[in-house]
């Protein structure tokens, strides 16, 4: 509760509540349930908090938001699950004629857009052995690693095809 104002759990704000106060700055925890399908599996939001600033204009309301969250992810190299914090910002303008301002949809979008394509458990993750699949962060393996790169066959095939064309 901020100055007698209770922040709606669904983050749908009444514009009249914001205009009465001449704007609003608030922070609130957001249930992780709101993000249960926002990240690619096995990604999962564990907890989240949002900070919002509503600024009134003559014909619009500007909302600036910052989502701070913690999530569980799978490493792109070694496939081990790990937890990491992340943040995402958004800014949106709403008509001053609106009755309600739905911030939950913008919050979900911010979380979805903050999802990195390649997440690593640590910067120097060694990944998995391409031969036996051992996690090289935990132990070394005795596999030969002088095998040609996996796309060498394609490179050779392209070279052969281009020779045939000439």
Task: Write out pLDDT tens, residues 154-164.
Answer: 777 777 777 77
Whole-number pLDDT of residue 1: 46
Most confident of 1-10, 34-43, 49-58, 109-118: 49-58
Residue 4 — very low, low, confident or very high, per pLDDT cuts 50/70/90? low
Higher pLDDT, residue 4 or 34? 34
Task: Answer yes or no: is pLDDT of 2 > 60.
Answer: no
Element (H, E) at 61: strand 60-74
Q: Is the dihedral of CA 93, 24, 29, 10 positive or negative?
A: negative
pLDDT at residue 107 is higher than 50: yes
pLDDT attached to residue 106? 92
DSSP structure class, residue 19: H
Structure confidence at residue 131 (pLDDT): 86
Q: Which two tokens stand for residue 108?
A: 């979900």
Residue 6 has pLDDT above 90, yes or no: no
Q: Check pLDDT > 90 for residue 103.
A: yes
Res 147: pLDDT: 64
Q: For residue 49, give the H/E element and its range.
A: strand 44-56
Residue 149 pLDDT more than 60? yes
Mean pLDDT value of segment 64-76: 94
């Amino acid at each position: 509760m901020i100055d007698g104002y209770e922040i709606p759990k669904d983050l749908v704000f009444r514009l009249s509540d914001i205009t009465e106060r001449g704007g609003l700055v608030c922070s609130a925890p957001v249930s992780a349930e709101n993000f249960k399908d926002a990240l690619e599996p096995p990604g999962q939001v564990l907890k989240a908090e949002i900070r919002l600033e509503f600024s009134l204009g003559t014909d619009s309301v500007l909302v600036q938001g910052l989502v701070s969250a913690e999530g569980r992810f799978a490493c792109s190299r070694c496939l081990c699950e790990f937890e990491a914090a992340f943040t995402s910002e958004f800014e949106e303008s709403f008509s001053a004629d609106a009755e309600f301002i739905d911030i939950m949809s913008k919050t979900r979008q911010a979380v979805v857009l903050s999802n990195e394509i390649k997440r690593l458990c640590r910067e120097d993750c060694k990944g998995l052995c391409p031969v036996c699949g051992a996690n090289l962060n935990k132990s070394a393996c005795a596999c030969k690693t002088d095998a040609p790169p996996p796309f060498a066959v394609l490179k050779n095939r392209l070279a052969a095809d281009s020779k045939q064309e000439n």
